[in-house]
Amino acid sequence: MRTTQRSIRRWWQAVHRRLRSWELETPTARAGEQSLVDEAFLRRLERLVILARNMSSTGLIGEHRSRRRATSFEFADYRRYVAGDDLRRIDWNAYGRLEGLFLKLTEAKEDLPIHLLLDCSRSMNWGSPNKFVYAKQLVAALGYLALSRFDAVTVATFGERLYDRFPMVRGKHQALSLLSFLDNLAVGEHTDLGSSMMAYCSTNRRRGLAILVSDLHTRDGHEPGLIQLLQSGLEPHVLHLVDPQELAPRVKGEAEIFDLESGEVVELLVGPEVIRQYQERFDSWCGDVKAFCHQRDISYLRVDTSIPLEQLILKDMRQARVVR
């Protein structure tokens, strides 16, 4: 027993060290803010659960309540008997009191496969704080949360193609290997969401929740990729990372604005009017993305990377009903 406690303590320490190393990489850590490595935060993560709107059966018993009724000990509801029902499930006590035939429905508990899709394109490696580091921290936190809930978790990285994949695992003890996987990620080229998602879905046989962490700056647009996820039976959640500088660029005068992914350069004499027009276009695009998601019942959350991660997960994602 003592050996088990010691090994658990070592595991905790290893997780903390890894997360702390990420924190050093990123300039997000500011005095007075709670960080990811806060043990209390991790404890609170363990109490959260990722919500799925359309639960699908995986055949494995998990901790998510299933819409499917199945044989179990947890009562769910009654319904009237119809011909063909299993006579063994008739509640005879209810029949004795109500003189009607009712079936006692019990609730199935199923596990929820979580597909964490992380954008590793070059456009993510920008911003203050760096969007890529922020995204890795977010995926790490969500992965840890899911593993704590005994959900099956897999992580896939993509850019102009599908890069790498962390195999589907279950159980909190896999957290360290997940963090190690995230730790070794590198930034790739441009983003091609449609082909990347097509490649992912063609190899994925398990349905579940697909959490897309990306800035959605893709060459082919965001639509093909999201539609591909929907068509493959996954329930997409879009976490749209936006840097504060994207919202309000701090540039003035004659400027050479160049694209991190394509290298394209636009020369502008930037003044208040140009900034206003830029913000108008950017807001319009974000609105288009949001409307697209809502039209297809896709959960969408715009994530301002200046918001501390703890606040994002414990407050904003709760409000958006991504977690509970």
Partner 1 sequence: MSFLQPAALTFLVLMPVIVLFYLLRAQHNRLPVPTVRFWREIPSDLEGRPTWRTPLRNLLLYLQLLLILLVALALARPALLGGEKRHLVILLDASASMQATDVLPSRFEEAKRQAHLLIDGLAASDEASLIRVARTPVLLEAGDDRRELHSAIDAAEQSSSPGDIPSALALAQSLVERSRGARTEVILISDGAFPGHEVALVSSLAAQFRHIVVGQTDDNQAITGLSVRPSLGTVGRYVGFIRIVNYANRPVTVPFRALADGLPIDNRPLQLPARGHAELTLALPQGTKLLDVSLQTDDALRVDDHAQVLIGAERPRSVVVASAQPAFWEKALTAVPLVRVTKVRPSQYQPGPADLTVLDGFVPRDLPRGNLLLVNPSRDNQFVEVVGETGPVQAIRARSDHPLLDAADLTALYIAKTRQIRPPAWADVLLEASGTPLLFAGREQGRRVVVLAFDPVASELPQRIAFPILINNVMAWMAPEELATEVKPGEIVELVPAPEAREVTVRLPNNKALSVVARGRPIRFSATDLIGRYTVVHSGPAGVISQQTFVVNVTSEVESDIRPRDQNALVAGVAGERGATVQPGVQRELWTWLAALAFLVIAGEWWAYCRRYAT
Closer of 128 and 177 to partner 1 (Cβ): 128
Stretch that binds partner 1, among 21-29, 159-167, 169-177, 265-273 (CB under 8 A): 265-273
260 lines the binding site for partner 1 (CB under 8 A): yes
Looking up tokens 């097509």 gives 198
Query: From the list 126, 164, 223, 296, which residue makes contact with partner 1 (rule: CB under 8 A)?
Result: 126
Looking up tokens 């589907």 gives 168
Question: What is the identity of the amino acid at 323?
Answer: V
Query: From the list 110, 215, 235, 310, which residue makes contact with partner 1 (rule: CB under 8 A)?
Result: 215
Using DSSP bridges, classify how beta strands 153-158 and 162-169 pair: parallel, antiparallel or unpaired. Answer: antiparallel
Closer of 109 and 190 to partner 1 (Cβ): 190
Give the closest residue to 129 by CA, choosing from 304, 258, 302.
Answer: 304
* Rounded least distance, CB 7 to partner 1, Å: 43
Closer of 105 and 247 to partner 1 (Cβ): 247
Closer of 90 and 251 to partner 1 (Cβ): 251
- State the Cα–Cα distance between residues 267 and 206, nearest whole angstrom: 47
- State the Cα–Cα distance between residues 115 and 118, nearest whole angstrom: 10
Query: From the list 269, 287, 288, 324, which residue makes contact with partner 1 (rule: CB under 8 A)?
Result: 269
Looking up tokens 């930037």 gives 270
Query: From the list 13, 128, 277, 319, which residue makes contact with partner 1 (rule: CB under 8 A)?
Result: 277
- State the Cα–Cα distance between residues 267 and 288, nearest whole angstrom: 27
Evaluate whether 90 touches 55 at the Cβ level (below 8 Å).
no
- # residues near partner 1 by CB under 8 A: 35
222 lines the binding site for partner 1 (CB under 8 A): no
| Chain centre to alpha carbon of residue 272 | 36
187 lines the binding site for partner 1 (CB under 8 A): no
Closer of 179 and 241 to partner 1 (Cβ): 241
* Rounded least distance, CB 225 to partner 1, Å: 16
- State the Cα–Cα distance between residues 164 and 159, nearest whole angstrom: 10
Closer of 92 and 258 to partner 1 (Cβ): 258
* Rounded least distance, CB 290 to partner 1, Å: 16
Query: From the list 77, 259, 288, 297, which residue makes contact with partner 1 (rule: CB under 8 A)?
Result: 259
- State the Cα–Cα distance between residues 308 and 65, nearest whole angstrom: 31
Query: From the list 31, 264, 272, 295, which residue makes contact with partner 1 (rule: CB under 8 A)?
Result: 264
DSSP 90: B
Residues 239-258 that bind partner 1 (CB under 8 A): 243, 246, 249, 251-258
* Rounded least distance, CB 60 to partner 1, Å: 39
- State the Cα–Cα distance between residues 230 and 71, nearest whole angstrom: 30
Closer of 111 and 246 to partner 1 (Cβ): 246
- Residues forming beta bridges with residue 33, ordered by sequence position: none
Stretch that binds partner 1, among 7-15, 101-109, 140-148, 272-280 (CB under 8 A): 272-280
Q: Which residues contact 130 (CB under 8 A, 6 or more apart)?
A: 25, 26, 27
Evaluate whether 110 touches 74 at the Cβ level (below 8 Å).
no
- State the Cα–Cα distance between residues 259 and 273, nearest whole angstrom: 21
Query: From the list 24, 40, 87, 266, which residue makes contact with partner 1 (rule: CB under 8 A)?
Result: 266
